[in-house]
Amino acid sequence: MLTDRRIAVNGVEIACSTGGAGPPVLLLHGFPQTRAMWEPIAESLARDFHVVTADLRGYGDSSVPGQDDPQDCAAFSFRAMGQDQLSLMRALGFERFHLVGHDRGARVAHRIALDAPERVASLTVMDIVPTHHLLCELTWPVAHTYYHWFFLARPYPLPERMIGADPDAFFESCLGGWGDDGLAAFDPTALEAYRAAWRKPEVIFGMCQDYRAAIAHDLALDRGDLDRRVSCPALVLYGAEGVMARLFDLPATWAGRLAQMQAQSLPGGHFFPDTAPAATADALAAFLASVGTIS
């Protein structure tokens, strides 16, 4: 059983859950979710690892900075969100740890591995292609399917007002639309946690700021690091029936960016950690065990 906590770092409070014993592993969620997505996976991993799940800033129960100046989205860059997580792990007593991210959490994880390679024992990215690749090699099928990248990035307050009219309709269309699983495949308890978060106006704002920052800040940061490779062992996991797998050769998009890469598909669509948690936990446990001891 994991214990819920809220820890002050970098001028914000990050909501997290911790439990288990063994090498530390940090699990980061994606859009439009919260750390609740990891619960069954975390419970499984906690048999052999000290597990930390955390809400990104702007998501779930974590702080939402910048509401006094909504035109400035710099506080939501992947670098800023990554610094939160590095400080969180240090506050919990972990200088070096395994790092796992899905969707937006995977983008934060990739940035952490570039900014603080000495802190990351292994990196797992789930069902994404690199941010620079997605934006700079954009095709109309990708833009059509992942239109939310550009809708959410519109200037404040247009997307906030439109989503706020019916948050469940918008966000549930995202959960049900990026794979063949539909909402019925999601755990009802996790869905309720997601709804409770995304119904809050400040969380809607935080998620929009995340996507604004990806274009306004993260694209340039990634362009500056195109000649760098993450050196630690890395695993690319993706949904075999997901949109990303249909539109990209996911391992190929990462091959030049990860020096020690493994890749594996899992049953389901984009949200396979939600819809196939046992298979996801097994894949993670096998990979993390193969990395060996964290020094």
Please give the structure tokens belonging to residue 232: 């630690």
Name, in order, each residue with C-beta under 8 angstroms of 8's C-beta and a sequence gap of 6 or more.
Answer: none
Q: Residue 183's CB: how many other CB atoms inside 10 A?
A: 12
Give the 3-state secondary structure of residue 263. strand
Q: Is 71 exposed, middle or buried (0-12, 13-18, 19+ CB in 10 A)?
A: exposed
| 73 vs 80: CA distance, rounded Å | 10
Per-residue CA distances from 229 to 15, 166, 256 (Å): 30, 42, 7
Q: Which residue type sits at 233?
A: P
Give the 3-state secondary structure of residue 282. helix
DSSP 176: H
Please give the structure tokens belonging to residue 159: 């997307």
Positions marked active-site: 103, 270
Measure the CA dihedral 198/202/204/205, to 10°. -170
Report the DSSP beta bridge partners of residue 3. Answer: 18
Q: Which residue type sits at 172?
A: E
Which secondary structure element, helix H or strand E, spans residue 79, and what is its range? helix 78-91
| 177 vs 174: CA distance, rounded Å | 5
